[in-house]
Structure 1
Amino acid sequence: MKLGLQLGYWGAQPPTNHAQLVSAAEAADFDILFTAEAWGSDAYTPLAWWGSATQRMRLGTSVVQLSARTPTACAMAALTLDHLSGGRHVLGLGVSGPQVVEGWYGQKFPKPLARTREYIDIIRQVWAREAPVTSPGPHYPLPLTGEGTSGLGKALKPIVHPLRADIPIMLGAEGPKNVAMCAEICDGWLPIFYSPRLAPMYNEWLDEGFARPGARRSREDFEICATAQVVVTDDRSSVLEMIKPHLALYMGGMGAEDTNFHADVYRRMGYSDVVDEVTALFRSDRKDDAAKVIPDELVDDAAIVGDLDYVRKQIVEWEAAGVTTMVVGARTVEQIQELSTLV
Structure 2
Amino acid sequence: MPFRVGVNVGQFFRGVPPRWDERVREIEDLGFDGIWFAEAYGSDVFTPLAWCAARTTRVRLGTAVAQIPARSPAATAMAAATLDQLSGGRVVLGLGASGPQVSEGWHGVAFPRPLARTREYVEVVRQVLAREAPLTHDGQFHRLPLPSGTGLGKPLRSTLHHLRPDLPIQLGAEGPRNVALAAEIADGWHAMFFSPEADAFHRAALDAGFSRRPGGRPARFEVIATVPVVVHEDVERAADRVRPELALYIGGMGAREANFHHDVFTRLGYADVAARVQDLYLRGEKRAAAAAIPTALVEAVALVGPVGKIREELSRWESTVVDSLAVQGLPDDLALVARAVLG
Is residue 2:293 matched to residue 1:294?
Answer: yes
Q: Is contact 1:20-1:333 (8 Å) kept?
A: no
Aligned partner of residue 227 in structure 2, secondary structure: strand
Q: Which residue of 2 is the match for residue 22 of structure 1? A: 24
Structure 1 residues 340 and 150: CA distance shift in structure 2, 3 A: farther
Q: What are the residue-to-residue correspondences of 1:52-201 with 2, within 5 Å?
A: 52-146=54-148, 149-201=149-201
Distance apart, 1:290 and its partner CA: 1.1
Of residues 99-108 and 307-316 in structure 1, the stretch that sits farther from structure 2 once superposed is: 307-316
Of residues 28-37 and 79-88 in structure 1, the stretch that sits farther from structure 2 once superposed is: 28-37
Structure 1 residues 184 and 117: CA distance shift in structure 2, 3 A: same
Q: Is contact 1:227-1:326 (8 Å) kept?
A: yes
Q: Which residue of 2 is the match for residue 211 of structure 1? A: 211
Q: Is contact 1:250-1:262 (8 Å) kept?
A: yes
Distance apart, 1:236 and its partner CA: 1.0
Q: Is contact 1:187-1:216 (8 Å) kept?
A: no
Distance apart, 1:342 and its partner CA: 3.1
What amino acid is aligned across from residue 306 of structure 1 in structure 2?
A: G
Which runs of 5 or more structure 1 residues have no equivalent in the other structure? none
Distance apart, 1:223 and its partner CA: 1.0
Structure 1 CA distance, aligned partners of 2:137 and 2:178? 22
Structure 1 residues 163 and 174: CA distance shift in structure 2, 3 A: same
Q: What are the residue-to-residue correspondences of 1:29-48 with 2, within 5 Å?
A: 29-48=31-50
Structure 1 residues 191 and 205: CA distance shift in structure 2, 3 A: same
Distance apart, 1:340 and its partner CA: 4.5
What amino acid is aligned across from residue 232 of structure 1 in structure 2?
A: V
Aligned partner of residue 206 in structure 1, secondary structure: helix
Structure 1 CA distance, aligned partners of 2:244 and 2:86? 38
Structure 1 residues 205 and 162: CA distance shift in structure 2, 3 A: same
Distance apart, 1:331 and its partner CA: 4.0
Aligned partner of residue 35 in structure 2, secondary structure: strand
Structure 2 CA distance, aligned partners of 1:249 and 1:281? 11
Q: Which residue of 2 is the match for residue 283 of structure 1? A: 282
Distance apart, 1:17 and its partner CA: 2.6
Structure 1 residues 221 and 163: CA distance shift in structure 2, 3 A: closer
The percentage of aligned residue pairs carrying the same residue is 47
Q: Is contact 2:172-2:191 (8 Å) kept?
A: yes
Q: Is contact 2:53-2:86 (8 Å) kept?
A: no
Alignment RMSD, CA only? 1.5
Structure 1 residues 255 and 215: CA distance shift in structure 2, 3 A: farther
Structure 2 CA distance, aligned partners of 1:166 and 1:68? 22
What amino acid is aligned across from residue 279 of structure 2 in structure 1?
A: A
Structure 2 CA distance, aligned partners of 1:275 and 1:188? 28
Provide, for residues 158-205 of structure 1, a one-character-per-residue CA deviation record: whole Å limited to 9, x for no partner: 011111110001110011111001011111111100000000110000
TM-score by length of 1: 0.95
Structure 1 CA distance, aligned partners of 2:77 and 2:28? 26
Distance apart, 1:227 and its partner CA: 0.5
Is residue 2:10 matched to residue 1:8?
Answer: yes
Distance apart, 1:18 and its partner CA: 2.9
Of residues 7-16 and 59-68 in structure 1, the stretch that sits farther from structure 2 once superposed is: 7-16
What amino acid is aligned across from residue 47 of structure 1 in structure 2?
A: L
TM-score by length of 2: 0.95
Of residues 106-115 and 285-294 in structure 1, the stretch that sits farther from structure 2 once superposed is: 285-294
When the two structures are aligned, how many residues end up with a matched partner? 340
